[in-house]
Amino acid sequence: MIETRQLTKRYGDFTAVDAISFKVEPGQVLGFLGPNGAGKSTTMKMVAGFLAPTSGGATVAGFDVEQQPLEAKRVLGYLPEGAPSYGEMTVREFIDFIADVRGLTGERRFQRIDDAIGRLHLERVLEQPIDTLSKGFRRRVGLAGSILHDPKVLILDEPTDGLDPNQKQEVRTLINSMARDKTIIISTHLLEEVHAVCTRAIIIAGGRVLADATPSELEARS
């Protein structure tokens, strides 16, 4: 469902991602585990089609993210790292904006918006400007945007980073429920997160893959 071939990103002489190749089968939840600066975000941005690789490439559901960007973006949802500023935009305006970008109309638009709001428990904050919400709520707003078009593939960059333990648990439960019909890559620096949601983990450091294992294999090694 997701495949990278020798994916590489260089900034001048510095190699942030060094010839990474991996495959993710349908239904897997792949954890990208590594310290800060390992190259996780850079890899995920390239897989999601938001950053051009220096060399190598990636396909999502068989679509090359550089050659067939529209087809690839239709099947994938991407949650960027952190909590970007949305200015004055309310939650409802953001969701409507993403629905417009995604070309959702009619009954399906209504259903998708309802589903995303319900899954992320955003009913009570719909009319609030996103920037006035807690970090946890802002993350859930981003997640609602990323699942609005019901993508088959989800690429989540540090989805629980900065959340309190309850919110972390809530987001992990949501990821587990989405894993029933989606293929997911999530980046994290927490081994506990891999245990909580992943079927497999790739350990990355210095832009290279150090290990590719199941969570219990990781446990046995650590």
Could you give the 3-state DSSP secondary structure of residue 172?
helix
Stretch of 23-31, 55-63, 142-150, 166-174 contacting ligand ADP, by CB under 6 A: 142-150
103 lies in the site for ligand ADP, by CB under 6 A: no
146 lies in the site for ligand ADP, by CB under 6 A: yes
User: For residue 83, what are the CA distances in angstroms to 4, 10, 131, 150, 158?
Assistant: 27, 26, 9, 22, 11
Cβ distance to ligand ADP smaller for residue 36 or 222: 36
Q: Which run of H or E residues covers position 193?
A: helix 191-197
**Residue closest to ligand ADP, measured at CB:** 145
| Smallest separation, CB 186 to ligand ADP (Å) | 12
- The binder of ligand ADP chosen from 21, 52, 101, 105 (CB under 6 A): 101
40 lies in the site for ligand ADP, by CB under 6 A: yes
- The binder of ligand ADP chosen from 2, 72, 98, 171 (CB under 6 A): 98
Cβ distance to ligand ADP smaller for residue 88 or 220: 88
Query: Rounded to whole angstroms, how far apart are CA atoms 157 and 161?
Result: 9
Dihedral angle over CA of 176, 40, 167, 131, nearest 10: -130
Between the two ends of the chain, the Cα-to-Cα distance in Å is 29
Give the DSSP letter of residue 82.
Answer: S
| Smallest separation, CB 165 to ligand ADP (Å) | 22
145 lies in the site for ligand ADP, by CB under 6 A: yes
Q: Which two tokens stand for residue 212?
A: 């590719």
DSSP string, 131-150: GGS-HHHHHHHHHHHHHTT-
Amino acid (1-letter code) at residue 115: D
Cβ distance to ligand ADP smaller for residue 38 or 122: 38
- The binder of ligand ADP chosen from 31, 34, 53, 159 (CB under 6 A): 34
- Which residues contribute to the site for ligand ADP (CB under 6 A)? 11, 16, 34, 36-42, 50, 73, 78, 80, 84, 98, 101-102, 142, 145-146
